[in-house]
Amino acid sequence: MKMIAYQIKHLLLLAALFGANNSFLRPVTGELPADKNATTQTVLLYNNLKKLAGKGYMFGHQDDLAYGVNWRYENGRSDVKEVAGDYPAVYGWELGGLEAGAERNIDGVPFKKMRQFIKEGYERGGVITISWHARSPYGAEKGAWDTTHGTVASILPGAANHQLYRTWLDELAKFFLSLKGSKGEAIPVLFRPYHELTGNWFWWCRNACSAEQFKVLWRFTLYYLSEEKKVHNLLYVYNTAGDFKTKEEFMERYPGDDAVDMISFDSYQYDDPAKSDWFVKNTNVQLGLMGEIAAEKNKLTAIGETGYEQIPFATWWTETLSKAIGEHKISYVLVWRNHGYNQWMKKMHYYAPYKDHGSAADFVKFYQQENTLFEKDVAREKLYE
Ligand code: BMA
């Protein structure tokens, strides 16, 4: 007994000396994600998210802390918080432009500030997810939306733009490695590169590369970030567009169980929910299909992006979104950014309610539902311990 007590004390001492990031503290019973050298906190998040899905789904919002419909860069502000009294549980951020050495991303968010926002959300117990609208090496003007066929092929090992692609990943690696919590530990990130891959609007989409090329791109990216750049704070999120009707369609470009931690899709509402229940029904079917795959493969699931622009339906949260998810067990649902008036689009562009918005009262009801998780809920869950 005394011996065991001594050993435990010794172990605790070692833990204190080496810090929480040391690999011997990794939970022996936990499953490892795609990156077998993932940091302790990343492995813990991966395992805790699996348990959390049984309790409810987290609510996420893109660029939540950076700006809202009527404000820009005011410390502590959040449209979601001003309506619900709580921050979202998941914070979405976007790296587009970082690969080209830009100081701000494609939506004007300075990477320096983004790093700070990521730290704030993480320190409060929230979860970070990151997307990447990488510029095409060919389409300087259209950026990620250039669909020149063969772009993916051109950045694969041995091809003309491969060295350039490595420099992009070098920039990303620097950013990921710079995300540190207050104890110096790397902040885990749900990385969702090459999103909506089954669509036809980005250079990595179905119309611009073969399934094989896409898989090689994915696997090389994982290999390069983890093995060559030693980035070990990422969980990898596979993300299709919202147009799939079968499991086969959803999986056509899936890069392999050993390269993916979470499967997800993006789906927005465009029709009038007062007149049509298509969004609810379709999302339900798709979550069913995705759920079956996830159960077979033991993967996490999410709705990577959703929303109804301007939310012109006062009870969209409880009548549409909540019903669309129903009883399905997913990790999170994230609504897109609250840009406010968008000069380029010539319209209001936002997906979360803000103070006094027509759907604010319903959002509070949605917040109060047992199965929706916001930041205070996930802080209690201690997802990184
Ligand atoms: C789109 C819009 C764009 C934005 C892009 C990347 O859905 O919000 O304004 O640039 O996402 O964040």
Q: How do residues 161-187 score in pLDDT, each as one tens digit?
A: 999 999 999 999 999 999 999 999 999
Q: Residue 156: what residue type?
A: L
Q: How many angstroms does the Cα of residue 107 sit away from the middle of ligand 1? A: 7
Q: State the CB neighbour count (10 A cutoff) for residue 2.
A: 6
| Element containing residue 292 per DSSP (H, E) | helix 278-297
Pocket test for ligand 1, best of 64, 91, 107, 339 (most atoms within 8 A of CB): 107
Residues with CB under 6 A from ligand 1: 94, 106-107, 133, 336-337
Atom of ligand 1 nearest to the CA of 62: 12
**DSSP-derived secondary structure letter, 309:** T
Atom of ligand 1 nearest to the CA of 337: 8
Angle at 375 between CA 371 and CA 380, to 5 degrees: 80
Q: How many angstroms does the Cα of residue 24 sit away from the middle of ligand 1? A: 41
- Give the closest residue to 66 by CA, choosing from 103, 116, 102, 124: 116
What pLDDT is attached to residue 29? Answer: 60
What pLDDT is attached to residue 7? Answer: 44
Residue 34 predicted with pLDDT over 90: yes
> What residue owns the CA closest to ligand 1's atom 4?
107
Atom of ligand 1 nearest to the CA of 349: 8
The Cα 377–Cα 362 span in angstroms is 19
Give bridge partners of residue 129 from the DSSP assignment: 92, 190
Residue 28 predicted with pLDDT over 60: no
290: which residues sit within 8 A by CB, 6+ positions away?
250, 263, 264, 265, 301
The residue ranking higher by pLDDT, 5 or 122, is 122
Of the given ranges (16-30, 71-85, 233-247), which has the lowest mean pLDDT? 16-30
Residue 22 predicted with pLDDT over 70: no
270 dihedral zone (left: phi>0; alpha: psi -120 to 50; beta):
alpha
Q: How many angstroms does the Cα of residue 363 sit away from the middle of ligand 1? A: 23
Residue 363 predicted with pLDDT over 60: yes
> What residue owns the CA closest to ligand 1's atom 10?
107
Residue 206 predicted with pLDDT over 50: yes
Q: What is the mean pLDDT of the chain?
A: 93
Q: How many angstroms does the Cα of residue 322 sit away from the middle of ligand 1? A: 24
pLDDT band at 132 (very low <50, low <70, confident <90, very high): very high
Q: How many angstroms does the Cα of residue 66 sit away from the middle of ligand 1? A: 14
Residue 25 predicted with pLDDT over 90: no
The Cα 254–Cα 251 span in angstroms is 5
pLDDT band at 19 (very low <50, low <70, confident <90, very high): very low
Residue 97 predicted with pLDDT over 60: yes
The Cα 351–Cα 63 span in angstroms is 11
Of the given ranges (2-6, 64-68, 91-95, 147-151), which has the lowest mean pLDDT? 2-6
Q: What is the pTM of this model?
A: 0.93
- Give the closest residue to 60 by CA, choosing from 377, 375, 333: 333
Q: How many angstroms does the Cα of residue 133 sit away from the middle of ligand 1? A: 9
